[in-house]
Structure 1
Amino acid sequence: MLTRLRVSGFKNLINVDVRFGPFTCVIGANGLGKSNLFDAIQLLSALADRSLIDAARSIRNVGVRPADIRSLFHLAGEHHGDNISLEAEMIIPGEGVDALRQRAVASTTFLRYAVTLAYRSDDSERSFGSLEILKEELDHINIGEATKHLLFPNKPNWRRSVIYGRRATPFISTEDQDDGCVIVLHQDGSGGGPIARSAGNLPRTVLSVANTAATPTALLARQEMLSWRLLQLEPTALRQPDEFTAASRLDTNGAHLPSALYHMAIQYARVMKVSEEEAISSVYNKVTTRLGELIEDVNAIWIDRDQRRELMTLYATDRNGTAYPARALSDGTLRFLALAVLEQETDAHGLLCMEELENGIHPERIPAMVRLARELATDTSQPAGPDNPLRQVILNTHAPAVIAQITADDLMIVENRPVDEKDPAARQITFGCIHETWRQKAQETVYTIPRNHLLDTLKLVVPGLSVLYVENEEEAAIKEEKTQEASDLQMPLFTLS
């Protein structure tokens, strides 16, 4: 779970310091930098697994040519900055398995990871430059200071279930030596001492090679960062059947939906020690019930397993008993269905970033879609566990219909604000919050706006609402305006083509 992110020098993000709760909705006009925040998170995730160059190329709008990595660095006028710094505070799983399927147990679960990258040009005309690590650190955050770092509402029983352990020294540190800077991986497992590597020659982060139980905390931090995913559900991928040998988890574009749902039921049978038939019925019914919140006409969701062709196809049955394959379902139905399937993952953890959740969804069904996205996130009033996985959701949107469904505590506001009174043209991206919400308790300076100025600031109009949805109307003093009901619009479950 990503609880705090600091970014500087990445695209248009300079000295950005943001805090996340279990569920966050980032709002602001198009073109400001909402997507760049997601890209920074994805860069951190990629650096935990790939080489520096491959991680940089994996970010959106960066092509295959090495020269394109320069576009990740902040551009001021005609000049790019030289450094990118990224720092994340996170809660990691307490245990897992390494690359050899050996059990790994973290020394402590509340960590801070920081990395600074520099662009290095080359005198050779054939070279487009490279990336160098200037600093890499993985350190613990004292358990006694957890409440100072976790400012979002949470109960002690939840906090104790996800934050525990102790550590006196770093897991990864950067040290200056006579022959240059070195990055040290400190082992906290069995056997072996610290391993130092020259920073200037590293093609990848030290964290990315922590894949054995000899460094269990670094390993589990790496696995946590790899679980930070940008979910971009594509209807074409969602409609595809799966071979029996397909991946058993939903891909970030929505591929393998039939396989994910089927294997989820099989796993449920193993965990709950029930028959496969009983597990399939239970899991499919839960997904059907969820989908019924969006579309009343759906009666059943099920997977057809074609033994001859070895293909799995997702079907939806309406109340008349007519079965429709996934290729006949509407885009909005498929997106909602994908989230409903993700909700059933009992071993889920990590972060789901979602852009423009409202795409393909009928306006009257957006509240149900937002509610499902919110309920994907961990409930911080209850201990984390199989029924309450440590899962986090961050949305970004500029849609008034979505904003109207978000509580004030869950909003993060992006604005392009002036930074120099003497130079009105000097502006910088700022991430703020609603006045008197939990982010305002942070020690760092936090930009806030009054609740009743939100829509004016964003130049948005939400029909029927004076400001935005909140859980406690008395505290927020919100007054909902009565509006005449609009005529019904078509809300298709199926789109035969």
Structure 2
Amino acid sequence: MLTHLEVDGFKNLVNFAVDFGPFTCIAGPNSVGKSNVFDAIRFLSLLTDHTIMEAALQVRGSGIDASDIRGLFHSSEHGYADRFRIAAEMIVEPHVRDDFGRPAEATSTFLRYEVEIGYESPTFRGILGRLVLLSETLNYITEGDANNKLKFPHSAQNFRKAVVVNKRRSASGYISVQTAADGQTEIVVHQDGGSRGPGQIAPAATAPRTIVGTSNTSVTPTILAARREMQKWQFLALEPSAMRKPDHFQAESYLSANGAHLPATLYRLVTSEANGEEESAGIYATIANRLSELVPIDEVNVEVDEVRQLLTLEVTERTGVRLPASSLSDGTLRFLTLAVLVADPEAQGVICIEEPENGIHPAKMNEMVKLLQDLAVDPSEVPGPENPFRQVVVATHSPAFVQLQDRQDLLFALETRMKGKHGESIQTLRCQPLEKTWRAEAGQSSVGLGTILAYLSAPPGAQLELSQLVYE
């Protein structure tokens, strides 16, 4: 669970900070930079499985050309920044497995991870510059500090005590930096998991990957837990063509970021050894009931073709007509995919979605909002199979979608100007909550309803208004 994010020097994010709850809706106009918040989160996730350069090239907007990597750095009239920093405070699962299948237990579950990336100019003309690791740290947050760090409304007894554990007593944390005798920055990996002795030291400037990105054994269980957490951060970009496809029997049985493997995922849920026949039927019924709030259907099921070894998702309309997923509309498929995700207790971590309202009629928008809210963990209860430890962050520019949100969950992406390093005026982004919400009460700058009139009133030039009914 990502509770706090800080970004400085990445794209248009300068001295940027935001607190997240179980469900967060970021609203803002097109091109304001909402997607850059997701890109910063995605960059951290990519670093867990890729080199620094590979992660940079996969972040949306930087393309596949290495000459574009400067686009990740904030730019002003004085040129590009030479470094950016991203920090994340997160709650991790205590029990994880390493790449060899061995179990490991983190000594702390509430962590602060910080990484600083620099740009190194080429030595010769025609040679591209490269990204270098300037700093990387991983520290623990104590149970006492968690009281102030977890700002969103939650149950201290049921939620916080269940997810925040700290057995670490060393002041060094898990990863720190130090300066070597030659002035170079070194990354220090401190002992964990019962090990003793001095930490391992590695030079930062020559590292192709981060320390977290190379932690794959149970020897460093807490670093491994941080890696596993960031690996679970998903960025859903549901594609109709992927959601419509049937699955082979041997296909991956977990939903992909584009919505692929929908039939296999649902089939895994209903055929799980933990479920009896009644429970399996209940999963089908629950998903069908949710979908019936959007379209007139009675049943959802997975058709098993033993001859072709295919799994096909089907729905049965109230008229009795059976339709394969390939015949459903884009919006219906998107809703159905999210409904399956809600039903999957193994789907955990951060789930980021841009414009989830696409393809949904305004009259049915409330059903989509409720579905997304149900996808997130309930912080008043203990996380578990019935309350999966999931977090949802959505970005939207839809007034109808915004009007249906709980005001406590809303953030408004606003452009603002500030003084840069050289005294120049630079444009950046701030995500501000509404007045009298938990973020505002924690001291964050907030906005009133007057600032967000564009989300509450008819757009300029509207030809049809509700007030016209009086004159008809």
Q: TM-score range by the shorter chain?
A: over 0.9
Whole-Å separation in 2 of the counterparts to 1:424 and 1:77: 8
Aligned length in residues = 457
Match of 1:239 among 244, 249, 264: 244
**Does the Cα contact within 8 Å between 1:265 and 1:283 map onto a contact in 2?**
yes
Q: Relative to 1, partners in 2 of residues 1:185 and 1:80: Cα closer, same or farther, differing over 3 Å? A: same
**Does the Cα contact within 8 Å between 1:115 and 1:137 map onto a contact in 2?**
yes
Match of 1:172 among 171, 175, 188: 175
Q: Relative to 1, partners in 2 of residues 1:440 and 1:303: Cα closer, same or farther, differing over 3 Å? A: same
**Does the Cα contact within 8 Å between 2:25 and 2:394 map onto a contact in 1?**
yes
Within 5 A, what are the aligned runs for 1:338-417? 338-417=337-416
The alpha carbon displacement at 1:103 in A equals 1.1
Alignment of 1:142 with 2:147, yes or no, is: no
The alpha carbon displacement at 1:209 in A equals 1.1
Amino acid across the alignment from 1:311: L
The alpha carbon displacement at 1:462 in A equals 4.3
Alignment of 1:48 with 2:41, yes or no, is: no
Whole-Å separation in 1 of the counterparts to 2:307 and 2:250: 14
**Does the Cα contact within 8 Å between 1:32 and 1:414 map onto a contact in 2?**
yes
The alpha carbon displacement at 1:326 in A equals 0.6
Within 5 A, what are the aligned runs for 1:264-279? 264-267=269-272, 270-272=273-275, 274=276, 277-279=277-279
The alpha carbon displacement at 1:90 in A equals 0.5
Name structure 2 gaps, 5 residues minimum: 460-464
Whole-Å separation in 2 of the counterparts to 1:60 and 1:240: 25
Question: Could you tell me the percent identity over the aligned residues?
Answer: 40
Q: Which residue of 2 aligns with 1:112?
A: 112
The alpha carbon displacement at 1:280 in A equals 3.3
Whole-Å separation in 2 of the counterparts to 1:411 and 1:149: 19
Secondary structure class of the residue paired with 2:127:
coil
**Does the Cα contact within 8 Å between 2:403 and 2:455 map onto a contact in 1?**
no
Give the aligned CA root-mean-square deviation in angstroms.
2.1
Q: Which residue of 1 aligns with 2:455?
A: 460
The alpha carbon displacement at 1:430 in A equals 1.6
Q: Which residue of 2 aligns with 1:490?
A: none
Alignment of 1:448 with 2:449, yes or no, is: no
**Does the Cα contact within 8 Å between 1:62 and 1:69 map onto a contact in 2?**
yes
Secondary structure class of the residue paired with 1:168:
coil
**Does the Cα contact within 8 Å between 2:76 and 2:426 map onto a contact in 1?**
no
Q: Which residue of 2 aligns with 1:129?
A: 129
Whole-Å separation in 2 of the counterparts to 1:453 and 1:437: 16
Tell which deviates more after alignment, 125-134 or 255-264.
125-134
Q: Which residue of 2 aligns with 1:163?
A: 164
Q: Which residue of 1 aligns with 2:326?
A: 327
Whole-Å separation in 2 of the counterparts to 1:168 and 1:264: 41
Amino acid across the alignment from 2:164: I
Alignment of 1:313 with 2:312, yes or no, is: yes
Whole-Å separation in 2 of the counterparts to 1:22 and 1:357: 17
Name structure 1 gaps, 5 residues minimum: 465-480, 486-497
**Does the Cα contact within 8 Å between 1:228 and 1:351 map onto a contact in 2?**
yes
Q: Relative to 1, partners in 2 of residues 1:122 and 1:426: Cα closer, same or farther, differing over 3 Å? A: closer
Whole-Å separation in 1 of the counterparts to 2:2 and 2:154: 15
Whole-Å separation in 2 of the counterparts to 1:416 and 1:401: 22
Q: Relative to 1, partners in 2 of residues 1:124 and 1:265: Cα closer, same or farther, differing over 3 Å? A: farther
Q: Which residue of 1 aligns with 2:462?
A: none
Whole-Å separation in 1 of the counterparts to 2:379 and 2:467: 35
Structure 1 runs of 4+ with >3 Å offset: 190-193, 277-280, 423-427, 460-464, 481-485
The alpha carbon displacement at 1:43 in A equals 0.4
Alignment of 1:211 with 2:209, yes or no, is: no
Secondary structure class of the residue paired with 1:358:
coil
**Does the Cα contact within 8 Å between 1:266 and 1:279 map onto a contact in 2?**
no
